[in-house]
Each structure stands twice: as structure tokens, then as C-alpha cells.
Amino acid sequence: MPDLTWLLAQSQTEGFATFFDKVARAPLGLVVAIAGILTGVRLLLWPTLRFTEPDDRFGVYVAARIVSEVLDAAIYAGMVIFMLVRPFAFQTFYIPSGSMIDTLRINDYIVANKWAYRIGDPKVGDIVVFRPPPQALEPGQEDTDFIKRCVGGPGDLVEIKDKKFYRNGDVVAEPYVDYTYPLQANGPVLPKNLWPEVKQADFKLVAVDGKYVPLQYTRSIVNRMPLVSTNEDDLLTQCAAEYVPPSPQVAAQWLAQPPATIPPGHYLFMGDNRNGSSDGRSWGLVSRESVIGKCMFIWFPFYRFRATP
């Protein structure tokens, strides 16, 4: 039987983390409104603090002074955190999916450094929080932030062939990559001896009619468009609707295009859970303006406190 004391403590701790995350994401308008209310309370206390005679400064006066000082500290701390720290320095984020397994796990809470990308640009290998392009979002996800690993920046040529990752023509070791059991993106990591059994589409970026199209392909399908009548690889090339070729002939034309380099001001992101992540292979590039911050460390659960590789 589970230890009920441990379960209660765990639920309380997770509740604290969820509460902390919600507070960290509070809209600025709400923060300003709360600060205004607290300031109003302090103003109501001011006559008591100002006009109470020295000989009468006990009881109600002491309570009013304590409340006023606490509110004063809360107002200033809130303004510093929500108007300076959160917009320009650090912010916490919650991990809701398994796309970064096993580097980041579901229900991890991370701290992202926003200042890092105010004074510099994302680098290959960084784990980055960003606003996804519209084609990556489902209805109701408009305010959702994504977190993936940067696998390519401006000028890089990125390809995946036979499950090997190439950057600028060279095979790149990816020690952070894992595979989960097929169709279980949020499940456990697949043992490495079973990785060869996992099917994965090849990938390249191609230029088509002035736009950059992420291409996932096998011998029989390109971005969900079958090249032949019999196709067994449909699940391997899930992608945004706008990147589905209108016909097998167009699919073949796209496939014949040479790989394109990532254009200026854009980045390619992929999840470490390489067969369980909807990422740049499905919905394309991310603009520099959409980058939010660099993941620095996991802060909760506390037993997983660590810097992120």
C-alpha cells in the first residue's frame, strides 16, 4: 500500500509548484491591479499610522504598521519581479509533454534565462523557449510556448538520413537524443538495443515558391502525400496542413529539390525525444523575434534539480 503521508506531501509540493508557475505567468495587468489594491489598503492605514500619538502606539497601531510594511514589501517586490525580472531576466516554465524526454520530463518546471538572448542569439545545442509559428498550434493553444533544442541556425544546412543527423554535410553526434516506444510519445524511453527497430522519416528543408518547406519523407510518402498507391509510412510524416503537397506529382517535385540552408533570422528546433516530438520537421522554422529564453535548469521536482545539458 502506498505511503499516504508521502502521497500527501507530494501532492502538496506539486500544488506549490503549480501555484508558483501560475503566479509567475500572471498577466501584467493583473499584477498592476493587485498592486493598486494593496496601495489602496496602505492609504487606508495611513491615518492610523500618521496620527496615533506615541503613547498610544500599541494594539491596533502595531497591527496596522505590520500590515503596512508587509504590503509595502509586497508591492515593491512585485514591481521588481514582474516589471524587471520576468520581462528581461528570468521566468519559470512548465513542461506539459514528452517531446524533450529524457532531458526534460512531463511535469518538470524549468527556469529560462531571457537576458541570454537579449545580448546574444541562440546557439546550436541550446534548449530554447519560444513562441511557435501559427501552423504549429491547435485551437486553444494561442498562448502556448514551446521548448525544444536548437539544431540549426542561419546558414546551416540540416538533414536527417537513415536516422543520422547531418549539419552542413557532417554527421553530428546527438548524445541527448532518445526514442520512446512507438505511439507512446509521453511514455518511457525505449532501450537502446531496440532503437534500430524504430522507423523514422528522413528530413530536409527545401525552398518552394519563395517559402521554406520542412520535408519528411520515405520511399513511399512525402509530407503525408503518398507517392505510390500502397503506403505503410503514413504516421511517419505528420506535418502542418499547409505543407502537404497537393498531389503525388508535386510531392515528387518537392522531393527532387536540393536541401536549403536556414535563412537569416530563423532557427530550426527539434525535440530530444526524436520519434515523439512534433517540431520543426512538421511545422518549419521559427523566427528570431519569437525566441523567448534559454533553458538553464530544472527547479522542480526538487529531486530533479539540475542544469540542463
Catalytic residues: 99, 148
Q: Considering only CA atoms, which of 96, 85, 102 is closest in space to residue 191? A: 102
Residue type, 94: Y
Task: Quote the cell numbers at residue 77.
Answer: 517586490
Angle at which helix 28-51 crosses helix 60-80, to 10 degrees, equals 150
User: Using an 8 Å Cβ cutoff, are 45 and 67 in contact?
Assistant: yes
Residues written for the chain: 309
Helix, strand and coil in the chain, % to nearest 5: 35, 25, 40
Q: Distance of CA 173 to CAs 44, 57, 189, 302, Å?
A: 64, 71, 19, 30
Q: How far apart are CA 89 and CA 274, in angstroms?
A: 30
The DSSP bridge partners found for residue 111 are 92, 297
Amino acid at 202: D
